[in-house]
């Protein structure tokens, strides 16, 4: 059978809106709501919130004797206020695994407990080379060397506290979304690109008036970047779980920005050989542009569920994303390929 087409304009619109909705791990309710709003346009799915704050979507199939699930995560890298410094600036603590240098100079939003949003930028404390000379280039970018300069009138800790800022406030880095020549450049394509892949797969079947072969759950998880996103939330009757998350590109990697990848092994070991082989066969059959790869420093929500005791087959697919956990980029070709693969899976 021919797979139904993916609405690429819808994909870009949904993805751009999601990328522009801040959702650092632990503070992703707005992105969950945004995704739910989009899915509520399709009567063939129903949405419930998990207690942990994720979104569990039930996509009714022709049969439900072997239910399946796919998962993608809406939480992203980010930070929290660790300390208010005596100069009124903020020391941060990381949410998720990344190096400070990849966000150096980025715009930030601080979310206070009372709902205020205060802008600023994330800088090396010794940023001015006119003052610090070689130290500006040489300094190790660690927690103590970096600070948030707030766009507010404050010169000491008391004035910063008076703005409403407290230890524990969430901080989001600007995504800087830009679409050009088929490329999508933004922070946090990991894993918002794949949330878009799942939503667009639902839309594609809706538009084509088709149904998944088996009842299929979509878990939009919200704690993946700290390792336990999908450890809860997958219904116990599910027999197979396909995690949809970005493919890692770089020296020695097979993945690129124009293909979807299937990861057969990462830091957590091999994925389920039978399910991975099934997905590879589907890609061959439907001529989906794909690569097979191994990610050296990587864990997924599929493994999170395995480690939590989930007795399911697990596989991992996703679009190639360049400079992951930095200023990321992918191409529409990889996004379309990934959504097609999801369609081949749910229809196969
Ligand atoms: Zn991810």
**From ligand 1's centre to the CA of 300, what distance in Å?**
7
Question: 70 phi and psi, to 5 degrees?
Answer: -125, 150
- Tell me the three state secondary structure of residue 225: helix
CA dihedral 121, 323, 201, 258 (to 10 degrees): 140
Instruction: Give tens-digit pLDDT for 276-315.
Output: 999 999 999 999 999 999 999 999 999 999 999 999 999 9
d(CA 314, CA 303): 8
- Paired residues of 270 in beta bridges: 265
**From ligand 1's centre to the CA of 248, what distance in Å?**
10
Strand positions, DSSP E, 267-312: 269-270, 290-294
For residues 89-109, average pLDDT: 98
For residues 172-195, average pLDDT: 98
Q: Which tokens sit at 36? A: 């739910």
Question: Comparing C-alpha atoms, which of 189, 185, 222 is closest to residue 23?
Answer: 222
d(CA 324, CA 99): 11
**From ligand 1's centre to the CA of 168, what distance in Å?**
23
**From ligand 1's centre to the CA of 158, what distance in Å?**
38
Instruction: Give tens-digit pLDDT for 184-215.
Output: 999 999 999 999 999 999 999 999 999 999 99
d(CA 37, CA 122): 32
pLDDT at 228 over 90: yes
Residue 1: band (very low, low, confident or very high) from pLDDT cuts 50, 70, 90: confident
Strand positions, DSSP E, 74-213: 78-84, 90-95, 107-111, 117-124, 146-150, 170-173, 178-180, 183-186
Question: What percentage of the chain has pLDDT greater than the value 90?
Answer: 100
Greatest Cα pair distance, the chain, in angstroms, is: 69
How far is the CA of 338 from the CAs of 59, 128, 289, 345, in angstroms? 18, 44, 9, 11
**From ligand 1's centre to the CA of 245, what distance in Å?**
5
Q: Which residues contact 270 (CB under 8 A, 6 or more apart)?
A: 264
**From ligand 1's centre to the CA of 73, what distance in Å?**
7
CA dihedral 31, 34, 36, 38 (to 10 degrees): -140
C-alpha radius of gyration, the chain, whole number: 21
Cβ-in-10-Å burial (0-12, 13-18, 19+) of 154 comes to buried
SS3 sequence, 141-164?
Answer: CCCCCEEEEECCCCCCHHHHHHCC
Query: What average pLDDT does the structure give for the chain?
Result: 98
Enclosing H/E stretch for 314: strand 313-321
**From ligand 1's centre to the CA of 126, what distance in Å?**
32
d(CA 288, CA 79): 37
Q: Which tokens sit at 256? A: 């690129």
d(CA 219, CA 310): 14
Which string of DSSP letters, residue by residue, matches 20-75? TS--BTT--HHHHHHHHHHHTT-TTEEEEE-TTS-EEEEE--SEEEEEEEEEEE--
Cβ-in-10-Å burial (0-12, 13-18, 19+) of 86 comes to exposed
pTM above 0.85, yes or no: yes
How far is the CA of 53 from the CAs of 86, 266, 347, in angstroms? 35, 27, 29
Q: Which tokens sit at 229? A: 């996103």
Q: Are strands 214-221 and 63-73 parallel, antiparallel or unpaired?
A: parallel
Residue 78: band (very low, low, confident or very high) from pLDDT cuts 50, 70, 90: very high
Instruction: Give tens-digit pLDDT for 317-333.
Output: 999 999 999 999 999 99
Tell me the catalytic residues: 224
**From ligand 1's centre to the CA of 189, what distance in Å?**
8
């Amino acid at each position: 059978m021919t797979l139904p087409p993916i609405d690429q304009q819808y994909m870009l619109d949904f993805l751009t809106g999601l990328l522009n909705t801040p959702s650092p791990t632990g503070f992703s309710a707005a992105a969950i709501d945004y995704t739910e709003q989009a899915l509520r346009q399709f009567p063939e799915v129903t949405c419930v919130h998990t207690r942990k704050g994720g979104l569990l979507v039930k996509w009714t199939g022709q049969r439900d004797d072997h239910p399946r699930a796919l998962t993608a995560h809406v939480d992203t890298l980010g930070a929290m206020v660790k300390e208010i410094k005596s100069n009124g600036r903020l020391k941060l603590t990381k949410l998720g695994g990344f190096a400070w240098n990849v966000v150096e100079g980025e715009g930030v939003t601080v979310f206070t407990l009372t709902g205020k949003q205060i802008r600023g930028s994330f800088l090396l404390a010794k940023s001015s080379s006119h003052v610090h000379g070689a130290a500006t280039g040489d300094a190790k970018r660690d927690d103590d060397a970096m600070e948030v300069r707030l766009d507010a009138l404050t010169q000491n800790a008391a004035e910063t506290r008076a703005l409403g800022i407290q230890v524990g406030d969430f901080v989001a880095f600007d995504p800087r979304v830009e679409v050009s020549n088929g490329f999508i450049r933004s922070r946090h394509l990991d894993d918002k690109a794949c949330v878009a892949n799942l939503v667009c797969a639902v839309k594609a079947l809706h538009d084509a008036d088709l149904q998944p072969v088996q009842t299929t759950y979509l878990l939009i998880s919200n704690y993946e970047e700290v390792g336990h996103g999908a450890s809860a939330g997958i219904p116990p009757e599910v027999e197979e779980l396909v995690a949809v998350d970005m493919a890692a590109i770089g020296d020695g990697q097979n993945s690129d920005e124009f293909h979807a990848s299937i990861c057969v092994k990462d830091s957590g070991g091999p994925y389920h050989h039978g399910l991975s082989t099934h997905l590879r066969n589907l890609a061959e059959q439907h001529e989906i542009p794909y690569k097979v790869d191994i990610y050296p420093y990587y864990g997924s929500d599929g493994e999170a569920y395995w480690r939590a005791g989930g007795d399911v087959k697990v596989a991992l697919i996703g679009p190639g994303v360049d400079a992951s956990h930095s200023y990321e980029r992918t191409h529409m070709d990889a996004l379309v390929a990934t959504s097609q693969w999801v369609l081949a899976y749910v229809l196969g």
